[in-house]
Amino acid sequence: MPNLETTALIATYSAMGVYTLSFILFAVDLAGRAATNGTPKPTRWLPSAMALLWLGWGVHLAATVVRGIAASRVPWANMFEFGLTATLVLVGVFLGISVVRDVRFVGAFVTGFALLSLGIVTVNFYVAVSPLPPALQSVWLVIHVMVAVLGTGFFATGAALSVAQLLKHSSEDGKLATPSWRFLAAFPKASELESLAYRIIVVGFVMWTFTVIAGAIWAERAWGRYWGWDTKEVWSFIIWVLFAGYIHARATRGWRGRPAAILALVGFGAVVFNYAIVNVFFKGLHVYSGL
């Protein structure tokens, strides 16, 4: 009988397996759309892709919960756990939005990104359950990191839609006319993708605002100051400012459309950088990677 920690790891790998199948089906669906004559429509593979994604997400959820139980605390106290929970929330946000709106056409982007992140996190950042140092023993660990994870999930979904938007812009301009890009015809119009991406990113922005505020309140209690330009604080600020720029760009002629989408992707690039690079290679007070 493996212990809880091992069970969580096995479940994580299982979730990755199911996500892989789901990703393949999403990709097959896009390829199938490209191959059809006339207006591309979703293929018969799409429902299976979605079903597998729900299944994979269930396993992923179980893995995360079991990891939390194994550690007797919230499952986001080091980089591996943050990545585990953040990808869970990312896929969850995507699934949640797909209940309300048909966003399945970006399924391949979302599952691909989630799979890649989860793989990198599990292979490179895995650490065994270890006790929490005094500085992390705070209710703010629950609040601050949870909103950060949620915000990241929304930014990631917004980024996937922005990629789709950029492709669609090119397609609407008559570029990407080769048969392999035909699936783009099944996408909504670029302007619709833009407004959808915008609304999702705005939710992410609100959550990021709360992340920074909760972080500042915690920093005041733990380190004696609410803001000290620690490397992680610098990057959280950069992310906030970039997405503030995006929100303004959305309302400004000359910035709508492509430039705004690029700004959204740059912002999401900063989110990924803040997690993957700043944690590991930069010096600072947010030393929680556990590596």
Partner 1 sequence: MASPPRSNRDLQPEDLNDVALDFDSPEAPRKNRLDAPIRGPQLGPFEFLRWSWRLLTSMRTAIVLLVLVAVASIPGSVFPQRSSDPNGVIQFERNDPELFAVYDALQLFDTFTSVWFSAIYVLLFVSLIGCIIPRTIHHWRVLRAAPSEAPRAWNRLSVVRTIPFTSNSETALETAEKALRRARFRVVRDGNSLRAEFGYLRETGNLVFHIALIGVLLSVGFASGFSWHGQRVIVEGQSFTNQLSSYDSFTPGRWFDETNLDPYALRLESFVPEYVRDEAKGAWTPVDFTAEMLVTDSTGSSEQTLKVNSPLSIVDSKVYLLGNGYAPVITVRDPDGNVVFSQPVVFLSQDSNLTSIGVVKVPDGLSDQIGMQGFFYPSAVELDTGALSSNDPEPRNPTITFNVYKGDLGIDEGRNGNVFQLPTDDLTQLAGRHTGIDVVLTPGDVFAIPGRIGTIEFSGLSRFVGVEIRHDATQLGVAVSIAFLVAGLLASLGTRRRRVWVRASPDKKSLEWGAQSRGDDPGLDVFIDRLTAEPAGNPRGKVGA
Taking CB under 8 A as the rule, does residue 173 contact partner 1?
no
Classify 116 in phi/psi space as left (phi over 0), alpha (psi -120 to 50) or beta: alpha
Asked if 84 contacts 33 with a C-beta cutoff of 8 angstroms, the reply is no
Classify 41 in phi/psi space as left (phi over 0), alpha (psi -120 to 50) or beta: beta
Taking CB under 8 A as the rule, does residue 245 contact partner 1?
yes
Give the interface segment with partner 1, choosing from 28-36, 54-62, 110-118, 222-230 (CB under 8 A).
222-230
The site that binds partner 1 (CB under 8 A) totals a number of residues, namely 58
CA distances from 111 to 26, 57, 212, 213, 291 (A): 8, 10, 28, 30, 26
Taking CB under 8 A as the rule, does residue 224 contact partner 1?
yes
From candidates 69, 74, 176, 244, binder to partner 1 by CB under 8 A: 244
Give the interface segment with partner 1, choosing from 43-51, 86-94, 165-173, 216-224 (CB under 8 A).
216-224
Taking CB under 8 A as the rule, does residue 258 contact partner 1?
no
Taking CB under 8 A as the rule, does residue 27 contact partner 1?
no
Looking at the Cβ atoms of 18 and 263, the one nearer to partner 1 is 263
Q: Minimum distance from CB of 9 to partner 1 (Å)? A: 13
From candidates 79, 167, 249, 265, binder to partner 1 by CB under 8 A: 249
Taking CB under 8 A as the rule, does residue 95 contact partner 1?
no
Q: Minimum distance from CB of 224 to partner 1 (Å)? A: 4
Residue 237's contacts (CB-CB under 8 Å, 6 or more residues apart) are 212
CB atoms within 10 A of CB 183: 23
Give the interface segment with partner 1, choosing from 46-54, 111-119, 135-143, 167-175 (CB under 8 A).
135-143
Looking at the Cβ atoms of 36 and 199, the one nearer to partner 1 is 199
Q: Cα(first)–Cα(last) distance of the chain, in Å?
A: 28
* Biggest distance spanned by C-alpha atoms of the chain: 65
Q: Minimum distance from CB of 111 to partner 1 (Å)? A: 26
CA distances from 60 to 90, 91, 97, 115 (A): 11, 10, 18, 11
User: Cα–Cα distance between 87 and 278 in angstroms, integer?
Assistant: 18
At position 103, the amino acid (one-letter code) is V
Binding site for partner 1 (CB under 8 A): 127-135, 137-138, 189, 191-192, 195, 198-199, 202, 206, 209-210, 213, 218, 220-226, 228-231, 234-235, 237-238, 241-242, 244-245, 248-249, 251-257, 263, 270, 278, 282-285
